[in-house]
Chain A
């Protein structure tokens, strides 16, 4: 690497971080200790038992997690009031850095994504950098792992169009791997092995990422100003949501995240974390230290590391490189799922990866802070079964108390201040404290908004923002039990090594369909109803305590369908609810992205009869798509790794030529999926197919080709 500095990194000072960690977590532990004592006292008042011990332990764990969350809010709030110099953007005057000799790659790893959206996001980012006048310092790479041939060809087609449109030959590159081993981390490794040494830094984007040019330039300057920093993670703002669910998530992200992340940065400092995208990475140390090994043993813990980002940050930190969170850099965007079910699908994938971190936790040499990040990731999912266990244990104790004939007369509290309180009042006090701890960060976020006039306006005013927070709180109350059951199922099935497949979501024109929601939620409804009846029979008083939880389960179908609707989201927007700064004052990048996406949607033909094997048809029939495709295959031969992969697929062999003949004579239905992929990967056969499809008389072609030629020439 010509322009890379020598690796010589001093360890970051530990005292300040140690003090902050101690103070931060001690606050959470202190709060947990106090409330746990109150809870233990309550349990003691009704007579101790083994099940009460279980309940208490569960309470302590769950409350500690909640208290840590609350402390993030509290510390973040005060940091935002009083300011801090301990943030990456305040450490040096980085804006003065000269980056004319620095090369940075911006990579978009993709896997069977909507290539239209990916490339329009890339275009918005590209144009934004162009406006900064620093475009020459950046190269763009679309790193495809797509296994669907239609996606593959579509990506190539749209890439070539984009390159021609932007006159970006030699600036925007496209590479598709023939074997997608080790998924996203393998995809990035392949890029680094092929081109990594050309770039001092690389910025990893997600398929739905958009980044502002100034932000990207600032990230490079920050890296230049801090040679001991290995990775800087930005905090992506959720944008472009249209459904009510998406807009609520987006609103929560934009309102609460600044406060929470400020709190996170308080204790993490230069031992931050990596979230897998919208981050800049110093290439050389990453290549040297962050190639992920296989974990010993079998699934779910063993094998390839699925959630690579946390581990890569931990490995970087292990080698004394710093990892920072640039939480005050604006202009980093991503999109979120638009419905509860899509969200649950994503959570399920993440669950598997995070549980696997249970093994990485034991890796020798990792920083303590890295282990904390890993533990948080794990508990993000494990907390759900623990919460369910807490509720079931509570029901069990209530049931046993009532039907074993034991007295339910409580003894006096051990606490002198609660001596005259009834058991119910005592329970209510604990409930109020719990609710306060949960709600306090939200309240502080609102307070933070109230003291910042421009931000307040960007959220549609304090009044509307307050109503939106109330709405968001109601929604998350109903959503929480569903997440609890989904996460519990994911955790249990993952631990059992069972892979539960998801069918592709059946969306109608405007979100989740009623039938699909019923298929996905009938179990939740049933559990909610059964649990409700049980609690009602047990004690109607108890039933009412459970209603928020039960309502989320029983009404999961309408909740899922209605919150996925775009028109409901639009209605809320017209009422000024759940507004975010990117909605009220959209940045240029997002305006450009949205308008281009709208044009695509209005102008592109989505007739279903043209959708079967459309990629194959285009790759064979379209003279330009075929030329681009064949050229890319030809270039692959120059890389020994890809050449070997092509050989493995069978490219250039007589067998593939026979597949080609079969394809022309019988249509794509006559070939298996892997045979079609082999044909698409053979440059010679693709040239021949193009020629033959246009030279042969119709009677020598399968009816499918005749229809495609007709359809195709009308389309272009």
Chain B
């Protein structure tokens, strides 16, 4: 375990060229991340945050253009990923961009927040049970694929199929227009050959009583 934070503010109230507020923001960010990893033990949490900040402060003098939060964030990422590489026995050298994902998944499946908080970010050797739990954890959404292809068998709907495609039949729309035209002619013929009279009689016969009733009652 590396020593805890040693650097104190200088006379101008700054640490490694950054204000205390800036370091405070960095502290909060790193602490939030460890919170998100469900590190609930306060002394452990504090120790981890300070360890990250110390590493950031070491870099701070050489990189004056970077904010404390950025430096702390990068150091936190390096520290955690490096530790994953050690525990999972993988190379940390940027080849596997999924290392962080694998590591976090292993932490979840090994139940680090519940059982192994004290081992997190601790240099090896680690308890065998913890190492086995971390290395043998793998997540699978399903068993091995056994791919196949279902193929629908068409339903023979018989003549009804023609009906469902009626609108697509050639010239159907044209024929419908002609039929409508023919109906119009029939209507005109009927109305001009005493049709109006019949309609009038029908209304007088059937609806006059109804109208009278409505006038009286409603």
Contacts and interface: CB of A to CB of B under 8 A. Distances in A.
Please indicate which of the listed interface residues B36, B73, B140, B161 has the most CB atoms of chain A within 10 Å of its own CB. B36
B37 A623 contact: yes
B35 A628 contact: no
A687 B77 contact: no
A635 B165 contact: no
Nearest to A192: B150
Interface string B20-35: 0000010001011101
A375 to B, nearest CB: 15
Interface residues of A, number: 73
Given A169-B109, A170-B143, A399-B210, A197 B148 contact: yes
A627 B101 contact: yes
Interface stretch (A219-227, A271-279, A355-363, A434-442): A355-363
Interface string A364-407: 11000000000000000000000000000000000110011100
Interface string A285-317: 001010111111110011000000000000100
Contact of A696 (B70, B102, B147, B210): B70
B145 A638 contact: yes
Contacts of A691: 77, 100
Contacts of B70: 695-697
B60 interface: no
Name the interface size band of chain B. 35 or more
B74 interface: yes
Contact of B108 (A195, A296, A624): A624
B36 A364 contact: no
A631 to B, nearest CB: 5
B73 A296 contact: no
Interface in B152-197: 152-158, 160-161, 163-165, 167
Contact of B209 (A160, A169, A195, A403): A403
B42 interface: no
Interface stretch (A7-15, A56-64, A345-353, A708-716): A708-716
Interface string A465-505: 00000000000000000000000000000000000000000
A296 B153 contact: no
Interface string A125-154: 000000000000001010000000000000
A173 interface: yes
Contact of A695 (B73, B111, B141, B213): B73
Interface string A604-638: 00000000000000000111101110111011101
A170 B140 contact: yes
A697 B147 contact: no
A289 B108 CA distance: 43
Nearest to A631: B139
Contacts of A139: 143
A621 B29 CA distance: 12
A192 B151 CA distance: 12
A635 B141 contact: yes
Given A289-B153, A628-B105, A695 B77 contact: yes
Interface string B77-113: 1000000000000000000011011101101110100
Contact of A687 (B73, B101, B217): B101
A169 B140 CA distance: 8
Contact of B148 (A196, A315, A362, A713): A196
B172 to A, nearest CB: 13
Contacts of A640: 147
B147 A631 contact: no
A632 B141 contact: yes
A51 interface: no
A301 B141 contact: no
A574 interface: no
A624 B141 contact: no
B153 A696 contact: no
Contact of B36 (A197, A641, A712): A712
Interface string A669-697: 00000000000000010010011001111
B101 A360 contact: no
A639 B150 contact: no
B146 A364 contact: no
28 contacts: A164-B108, A169-B140, A173-B142, A192-B148, A193-B147, A193-B150, A195-B142, A195-B146, A198-B144, A289-B153, A291-B153, A293-B153, A294-B152, A295-B157, A403-B209, A639-B145, A640-B147, A641-B147, A687-B100, A694-B32, A694-B33, A695-B77, A697-B69, A697-B70, A712-B36, A713-B31, A713-B32, A713-B33
